[in-house]
Structure 1
Amino acid sequence: MRFFDVVTRSQAVRLPSDRQRCYVLGLPARNYLNFVSNSSLGDDDEPEWMLDFAKRESRRVITERMKELEERLEKTRKEEEKLKIASEGFEGPRKRQKFSTPSACRDEQMEDQFALEDYDSEREEDTFPRKGLDSSTSDLSSRTLELLERFKGQVPTIKSAGEDHRDEDVKIFYCSRTHSQLTQFASELRRVTMPSSMPEEINVNPTRDQELTERVKHVTLGSRKNLCINPRVSTLENATAINERCLDLQQAGTTPQQKCPFLPSKEDEVQVLQFRDHALATVKDIEDMGKLGKEIGICPYYASRSVVKHSEIVTLPYPLLLQRSAREALDISIKGHIVIIDEAHNLMDAVSNIHSVTVTLSQLETSIAQLTTYACKFKTRLKGKNRSYIAQIIRLLNSIFQHLRSILENEKASEGAVLPSSLMSGKGVDQINPYKLSRYLQESKLARKVDGYVDFSKNKTERQTSEDRTTPVLFHIHGFLLALMNPSAEGRLFYTKSQSEIHLKYMLLDPTNQFREIVEDARAVILAGGTMSPVRMTDYMNHLFSYVPADRLRTFSYGHVIPPENLIAHTLVRGVQGSEFDFTYDARDSEKTILDLGRTVATLCHVIPDGVVAFFPSYDYLDRVLSIWKKPTPGEQRRTIYDLIGTKKAMFAESRDMTLTTEELLQTYANTIDSGKGACLLSVVGGKLSEGINFSDKLGRGVLIVGLPFPNIRSAVWRAKIEHVEQKAYRQTLGTEANRQSTAKAAGRDYYENSCMRAVNQCIGRAIRHREDYAAIVLIDRRYDKPAVQAKLPAWIKQSMAGSDIRRPAGSAIQSLSQFFKGKRAG
């Protein structure tokens, strides 16, 4: 059974008995049946006929409720079909036609609203809300109240008659990296027809021979940035600014004219119900939810919350699921539910990035100036604790600013680690209580008040820069200070210098504890991805789930949808002119090797039809290769290697500062291939084209991987990551000191290699996107011929790996590829 329902007060099940009469209210259907089956409602056991009656009656109530909801949704679905047909005649929102941007709405606000309320950090809550029976039970008999009190804690909290209990249904929370991937999932979900969850023997209405049908109940959740329909807010185009502006418009002191006209209120219950029915009537993606909110005239960000408890499948992007504060903002709980995380090869990095934050020297300087201005403006209204804490924050920011400036002026290294104690070495900072300051930052809403006042106080005629208009600087600093006040044991601080600017980053090195609460709350956690085995599986076992007992972990690995003959993979140890392909950091700048690489790529482009995508280790190395390829070659009549490749295929290259957008580059690349000429796209591992892009069919008949993209092990960040992994492995290993050190070193090395091969596997996965697709994979580096490296490739690649002879040039591989594609064209 997919659904739970409730026996409410208005539809209470009355259990006739000579010994007692009892009303059981507000219990979920399954819990109710267990309640009446397994509990003693009196001193003696109830007759069997009474229990059978209770079960039948409860099922009848559940089915009637389901039928009522399904009929509503079917009616709504038919309405949507009619609206779709008549969409050209649609006139706009059905409510509150307020989509024009007011010209001077912010100027009408008064300065008073930016003043802080009195704050007392020592206060304690003396009273707490009393949890127990509510007023709706006041007219129950003393015997019933005694019975309910007796089973208090064994059954869910009683709710009012009109309130739903759908939150107790087991839901699926489906999470992926981007909304575009969630849209693809929604598209597939529309094609699925689910059988009814109700037992066949239950008749909804004995006089009607009509089968009860159910539709998949799905809702997609998004951030305010994705769902806001208020042009005064959505046009800010910055998630932080949109969030803060939305909350500003809901403040108690905001005038009715300034409040958001689309925010649901008690008067909008009809619109909220209408939104819910339309959201559930058909499977909708994030764009559909935004359009629905505009049509009804109600905020889809807030209205979608009413849909969650009625849904079976909830889709949402990584940040909304992986961060506790985001889940709390959406008022969702995953306790007892199923969590599916797609594209899970990104999971560890995603959790770390979400809990990391970067600030710059200029941002710190701006925030100090804003806070000082605010403190001077409201100095007569800042009393006691407010004045003290603002002074502490200014001192702390000054301390961080001075230390970063000294690094910028004196430190020669372009990056390095920073100790928290160094940031807090300024005058008077040692007297700050981190716990109390953190609590003040969260409870006082200081950042919101200051950012709001700064925005308000700007001259109306002054043209604001994009950053001023969209980025609340102090709110960003606020996030960094919280991380600094409550540092994780797995977190580290790093700086990076670039010309006159310096960036300070708090980075989470180990996401285990941040993801642990999801694992412990959820009924089940399913991680799914196309390139997780074998590299990611090892990382998960050793790092993300190291605390989980082995008997609670299950792994499943499936082959590719294509037959093995649709893929051929080669390792190239030598080029067409015999140069050994050694792209290690110390050897890869050899001009001879790069020239031979160019001639080899030109030959590969000759035998591989249509589109070829080549991935390089970094932007810097790609720039180095292109600079040599574009130089005239002696004895070639001034023709360059770049021109040589261009005679076979049109050349395109990704760069950090492209004049074209990624979409424009891909479209031009695709159009060139469609014209019949063929094209070669030079890209970067970890770049914009290495993940989330489908080079299916003609767009990716060949994928070339040049070198192994190992991270810079000399960087401060990677030294810290490997050190953390080694220390963790050392603590978990038993045995002699030598054995513990050896195991720790092996763990660090494996983690480092896995990071490289995970990136390689992602690039390889850009081709072969469906069952009939076919392609060639060419791994260009002598190290790819090593068994230890090949062991970290997916099984579907290894089974199609052609043998190689390291003593021979690339000729044999070229011939093999030519025969492969001739066979595909003939087929």
Structure 2
Amino acid sequence: MINTKVSRYLPYVGWRPLQAKIADFIYSNLGEGRGVVIEAPTGVGKTAAALAAALAYSEGEPIKVIYMIRTNNQAIAPMRELSKLLKVKGLFIPYVLVRNRARMCCISSTSKLPYRDFLMECNYLKRTGECRYYIKLRESGVDHSLFMDTVAGLESPGEYVKSICKLGVCPYDASRMLISDARLIVLSYYYLFSLNAPEVVDLDLKSSILIIDEAHNLPYAVLDLNTQYLTEAMVKAAVVDVRRFVSDINVKAGALRALASIRALFRDLFIGVTEQGERRVDSTKVLEYFNDIDYLSEASGEVLASKRSRGILLAGTPLSDIIDFYKSVVKMPKDKALFLSIGNDGRAIVSRLMDPSVAASGVLNNAHSFIVMSGTMPPTRLFTSLLGVKVKVSELRIGLTEYVKSSNVKAVVYGEVTTKYTERSEEQYSRIAQALISVYDAVNHSVLAVFPSYDTLKATRKYIKQGVDLVVEIGTTTIEDVLGSIKVNPHKLILAVAGGKLVEGIEFRFNDINYIDAVAIIGVPYPEPNDFMNGLVDVVKSRANYDDAWHAVYTWQALVKVKQAIGRGLRSDKDRVFIILMDYRFKDNPIIWREMTNYLPNIEVTSSEGELVRMLKEFTSNNLNK
């Protein structure tokens, strides 16, 4: 029986059985210096359960609940539940949202600047009295009651910012001022997991319960948050800025010399680096190319001033990023390393944090409690090894078939193909394409085909015949465009990349119908081995054995991506989906096979395309929901 105190904070009339189980487990395990791991399928109601348990636990105590978000869309979930709690039960929880200052700015042109340039512009506007939102806040403060009345019932970050802008005050600074008055804080990862954040928030972790949804991404989100790039394109753009906007002859000449030296870095150090990936490089070799760097600082100030005087919107400059990168290399701690990288955006020098625990362990170990949850959590021992968690952790894992009927899922390993690097060939790509076409022809709605990389996607696409209505994930693809296209014609073959925008954080659903009939996972989406990934294995190995370290970095990244892809077809307990694991390695790798058979009911194996299509048609013929 769920605690009545917890039920008070449920934003619905009643509990779903699994949701009540999650809330009860969290509430009973929230204690000082404790962690809670929750794995449960999408649709169970994890967000509402975690919020209800945490708010109930903190009631009457000097404990704040901090809901951590990585993306703008992730803020929608807690805001939606708070809005429902107000509407259904008339209970308002005082809360604030704190994202980076640019995303909360009322001046739209300024908010689109690169973040470092935005902060410079923001400080300039405040210093000169040109930001009326800051001036009003400084002179009049913010009325607590009016602020909370304004944000009550809002359901998106965009509404939140617009509503506070209408009060005439800066949403970012006003929200930070009211942190002490809030019971719940919706907070960007940046403020707790960035080692060099220009701005911080005043929080007492010992008196905070952290809720982190989609936590399967947390170790790599922490690493990304502490990564800096110097790209060749950035240097070329800086040259254009100097030539166009710097009038001082000496400064211009010195800055161009400095940039020419940095451009030579890309010419010299990348000799022999041709494949996509990352190769480690000593920082001393990189610093040799940073000459006359002081001229870049002078040029940066002149460029920004010149652009501002000419009324140019988005008046940033890549010079600022180059200077920041140089400073980070000069002061680079032992936990970071430099890599030569060639990716889809060209050549780059990348400064990476090598150990996510450096940024995460202090936060998680010092919090009063934390709740990490996802539909695809890796094993707790591997997750805690990556993040350096030392406190006691309790876990609750709800399997897919506890939520979805076994009859709603059919999974088949199609062993006729593989994307294993040593076996890739045009014949393999042709076979994959033919199998996808046969699957597409056998369903009424859409097939989501998930590739391990964009290269394998492109190699397969050329074999897909005309007449197939394709949606292909590329850099400019937007979720809105994809969903709009499906509305026009729901019979699509969607080519996506594992871990990409069409596999995480999207629902192909309209009017309670999920338009994904089949999910085909082409190949096991292992990360590409490179110096960075292997270095990460070495870091984790210092806290675990080699096998666990390798699986934490490689195997479980692949499995999480596979489960995320499967989840696109199962967004509620009413959905039905046919899963095709298109690679013999799903059966031949013991760890992957064990995990898949535990996760999916009754997996069959076939190397016959005809048999695959027969099983698909048999499954869809029993589908009464679509």
TM over 0.5: yes
1:555 aligns with 2:354: no
CA contact (8 A) 1:570 1:778 kept: yes
Question: Is 1:293 matched with 2:189?
Answer: no
Q: 355, 368, 373: which one pairs with 2:226?
A: 355
Aligned partners of 1:364 and 1:598: how far apart in 2? 40
2:556 is the alignment partner of 1:758: no
1:653 paired with 2:488, answer no
The question of whether the paired residues in 2 share the 8 Å contact of 1:351 and 1:515 is answered with yes
* Alpha-carbon distance between aligned partners in 2 of 1:770 and 1:663, rounded to the nearest angstrom: 21
Give the C-alpha shift of residue 780 in structure 1: 1.0
User: CA contact under 8 A between 2:411 and 2:604: conserved in structure 1?
Assistant: no
- Say yes or no: does 1:248 pair with 2:103: no
2:184 pairs with 1:313 = yes
Deviation at 1:809, TM superposition (A): 1.8
- The whole-number CA distance in structure 1 between the counterparts of 2:495 and 2:315 is 34
Q: Which residue of 1 aligns with 2:211?
A: 340
1:608 to 443, 447, 459: 443
The offset of 1:378, in angstroms, is 11
8 A Cα contact 1:776 1:817, kept in partner: yes
Q: Which residue of 2 aligns with 1:475?
A: 320
Amino acid across the alignment from 2:471: A
**Which amino acid in 1 is paired with 2:387?**
L
Q: Is the 8 A contact 1:400 1:424 kept in 2?
A: no
> Of the candidates 665, 670, 673, which is equivalent to residue 482 of structure 2?
665
Normalized against structure 1, the TM-score is what?
A: 0.60
- Structure 1 residue 553: Cα displacement: 1.7
* Cα contact 1:395–1:427 (8 A) shared by 2: no
Q: Which residue of 2 aligns with 1:703?
A: 519
Q: Partner residue of 2:506?
A: 693
Q: Supply the AA of the counterpart residue of 2:178.
A: V
Instruction: Point out where structure 1 has 5 or more consecutive residues left out of the alignment.
Output: 3-165, 197-212, 380-390, 430-436, 574-579, 630-641, 734-742
Contact 2:228 2:350 in 1 (8 A): yes
**TM-fit CA distance, 1:485:** 2.6
Supply the AA of the counterpart residue of 2:422. D
* Aligned twin of 2:37: none
2:493 to 680, 703, 710: 680
**8 Å contact from structure 1 (residues 170, 336) kept in 2:** yes
Cα distance in 2 for residues equivalent to 1:329 and 1:705: 41
Structure exhibiting the larger radius of gyration computed from Cα positions: 1
Deviation, 1:708, is: 1.4
Look up the match of 2:72: 179
- SS in structure 1 at match of 2:103: helix
In structure 1, the residue corresponding to 2:424 is in which secondary structure? coil
**1:512 and 2:353 matched:** no
Could you tell me which runs of 5 or more consecutive residues in structure 2 were left unpaired when the two chains were aligned: 6-58
Choose 777-786 or 681-690, whichever is displaced more: 681-690
Which piece of structure 1 moves more, 447-456 or 661-670?
A: 447-456
Match of 1:612, as an amino acid? Answer: V
Counterpart mapping for 1:613-652 below 5 A: 613-629=448-464, 642-643=465-466, 646=467, 650-652=468-470
Once the two structures are superposed, residues 602-645 of structure 1 have per-residue CA deviations (whole angstroms, 9 ceiling, x without a partner) of 3323443312111122222222222233xxxxxxxxxxxx24xx
State the Cα distance separating 1:556 from its structure 2 match: 1.6
Q: Which residue of 1 aligns with 2:432?
A: 597
Name the SS of the counterpart of 1:779 in structure 2: strand
CA drift at 1:586: 2.2
Aligned partner of residue 517 in structure 1, secondary structure: helix
Give the drift of 1:397: 7.7
Q: CA offsets, 1:234-280, max 9 Å, x none?
A: 3x4543332221111223xx3x4x354544445313x5445423246
Does the aligned pair in 2 maintain the 1:356–1:507 contact within 8 Å? yes
Give the Å deviation of 1:527: 1.0
SS in 2 for 1:612: strand
Asked if the contact 2:241/2:303 (under 8 Å) is kept, the reply is yes
- The alpha-carbon deviation at position 725 of structure 1 amounts to 1.8
Letter in 2 for 1:342: D
Write the mapping of 1:50-61 to structure 2, written as runs, cut at 5 A: none
Structure 1 position 326, deviation (Å):
4.5
State the one-letter code of the partner of 2:483. L
CA contact (8 A) 1:726 1:745 kept: no
Distance 1:360 1:611, change over 3 A: closer
Q: Does 2:266 match 1:404?
A: yes
Quick one: distance in 1 between partners of 2:132 and 2:396? 49
Distance 2:239 2:443 in 1: 59
Q: Match of 2:21? A: none
Distance 1:193 1:230 in 2: 30
Give the Å deviation of 1:704: 0.7
Tell whether 2:624 aligns with 1:825.
Answer: yes
Q: CA deviation at 1:348?
A: 1.0
The question of 1:581 aligning with 2:417 is answered yes
Give the one of 582, 593, 608 matched to 1:809. Answer: 608
CA RMSD of aligned residues (A): 3.9
SS of the residue 1:190 aligns to: helix
Letter in 2 for 1:708: V
Q: CA deviation at 1:530?
A: 0.9
CA distance in 2, matches of 1:814, 1:318: 44
Q: Which residue of 1 aligns with 2:84?
A: 191
1:416 and 2:279 matched: yes
Distance of 1:398 and 1:451 partners within structure 2: 16
| Shift, 1:672, TM fit | 0.4
Task: Determine what percentage of the aligned residue pairs are the same residue.
Answer: 22
For the residue of structure 1 that corresponds to 2:207, the secondary structure is: coil
How far apart are residue 347 of structure 1 and its match?
Answer: 0.7
Whose relative contact order is higher, 1 or 2, with alpha carbons under 8 Å and at least 6 apart? 2
Provide the rounded CA distance (Å) in 2 between the counterparts of 1:499 and 1:290. 34
Tell me the CA shift for residue 818 of structure 1: 2.4
- The equivalent residue for 1:524 is 369
CA contact (8 A) 1:220 1:285 kept: no
Q: Match of 1:175, SS?
A: strand
Q: Output one character per residue of 1:664-720: Cα deviation in whole Å (capped at 9) or x when no partner.
A: 1331123202xxxx222122223331211113434212111111122322xxxx233
**What CA distance in whole angstroms lies between the structure 1 residues aligned with 2:345 and 2:447?**
40
Q: 1:486 to 1:596 in 2, by over 3 A?
A: same
Residue type of the alignment partner of 1:652: L
- Alignment counterpart, residue 564 of structure 1, candidates 385, 394, 406: 406
Aligned to 1:159: none
Q: Residues 341 and 528 of structure 1 are in contact (CA less than 8 Å); yes or no, is this contact kept in structure 2?
A: yes
**Counterpart code for 2:70:** R
Q: Counterpart in 1 of 2:550? A: 748
1:792 pairs with 583, 589, 595, which one? 595
Query: 1:87-102 counterparts in 2 under 5 A?
Result: none
Q: Which amino acid aligns with 1:817?
A: L
Measure the CA separation in 1 of the matches of 2:618 and 2:346: 55
Contact 1:533 1:794 in 2 (8 A): no
- Relative to the length of structure 2, the TM-score reads 0.78
Deviation at 1:341, TM superposition (A): 0.8
Equivalent-residue separation in structure 2 for 1:351 and 1:499 (angstroms): 22
Amino acid aligned to 1:455: L
Structure 1 match to 2:30 = none
C-alpha offsets along residues 5-37 of structure 1, whole Å, 9 cap, x if unaligned? xxxxxxxxxxxxxxxxxxxxxxxxxxxxxxxxx
Q: Per-residue displacement from partner, 1:380-407 (whole Å, max 9, x unpaired)?
A: xxxxxxxxxxx9x999988755443422
Size of the aligned set, in residue pairs, is 559
Pair 1:194–1:322, CA change in 2 (3 A): farther
Question: What code does the residue aligned with 1:416 have?
Answer: R
Superposed, 1:37-56 pairs within 5 Å as none
